[in-house]
Chains A and B, each alone.
Chain A
């Protein structure tokens, strides 16, 4: 499975935008880019996913580089409830979801 690289941790101020980067230089043409997040003692929660084009939903936006070797998850206005570990994962269609270490996001009031 193609691997992803994310910073171990990031900090943000409440109500400011957050850009969470992810590098995936070995991505293949059939890999979807998925983002999940996990709060302590809970199961992961789906955030967003995309293949080639940028994606928006009510939680976040996903910006995918033209060569698809990197992507950025954008939280438009961080809240305290957004503090979590964010996982960027490459996944073949309907295939396994292999988690890396993720980025721990802290949000300061």
Chain B
């Protein structure tokens, strides 16, 4: 099956620093990628839709200046959490749209902000 690589898998950072998370589709081109956040024992919450070569579309309530998304190529999208605070601690997951109707997900990034 298709593979989506997400890196890093775990990151611990100090409050006020920025963290970049990468999402790569390894064996297919993805014009659209999605970013999700998941808190413990809750479902995934869609944060934004990332389209290659254009600005991301953010869901209501998600601050675009805090969660910067760049989708510069057909195989790479990045999410940068700027000036991270403890409340940003969460499990972040990306997914990539293949040409058919299937979405493939990365393995997630556990962010802990101290």
Q: How far is the CB of B98 from chain A (nearest CB, A)?
A: 10
Give the size range of B's interface with the partner.
20 to 34
From B92, which residue of chain A is reached at the shortest CB distance?
Answer: A43
Tell me how many residues of A have a C-beta within 8 Å of chain B: 22
Q: How far is the CB of B96 from chain A (nearest CB, A)?
A: 11
Give the contact stretch, choosing among B11-19, B60-68, B79-87, B104-112: B104-112
Q: Does B101 contact A94, Cβ atoms closer than 8 Å?
A: yes
Known contacts A41-B110, A43-B6, A87-B43; is-contact A96 B49 (Cβ 8 Å): yes
Q: Does B105 contact A41, Cβ atoms closer than 8 Å?
A: no
Q: How far is the CB of A5 from chain B (nearest CB, A)?
A: 14
Per the bound structure, the CA–CA distance linking A98 and B95 in Å amounts to 12
From A50, which residue of chain B is reached at the shortest CB distance?
Answer: B101
From B91, which residue of chain A is reached at the shortest CB distance?
Answer: A41
Cross-chain contact of A94 among B32, B91, B93, B95 (Cβ < 8 A)? B32
B46 CB–A CB distance under 8 Å? yes
Chain A residues, Cβ within 8 Å of B102: 46, 49
Q: Does B95 contact A100, Cβ atoms closer than 8 Å?
A: no
Question: 0/1 per residue, B1-26, Cβ < 8 Å to A?
Answer: 10010100000000000000000000
Q: How far is the CB of B39 from chain A (nearest CB, A)?
A: 13
B97 CB–A CB distance under 8 Å? yes
Contacts A97-B95, A97-B103, A99-B36 known; list 9 others, CB within 8 Å.
Answer: A34-B103, A38-B44, A41-B110, A42-B108, A44-B44, A46-B104, A46-B105, A93-B101, A94-B101
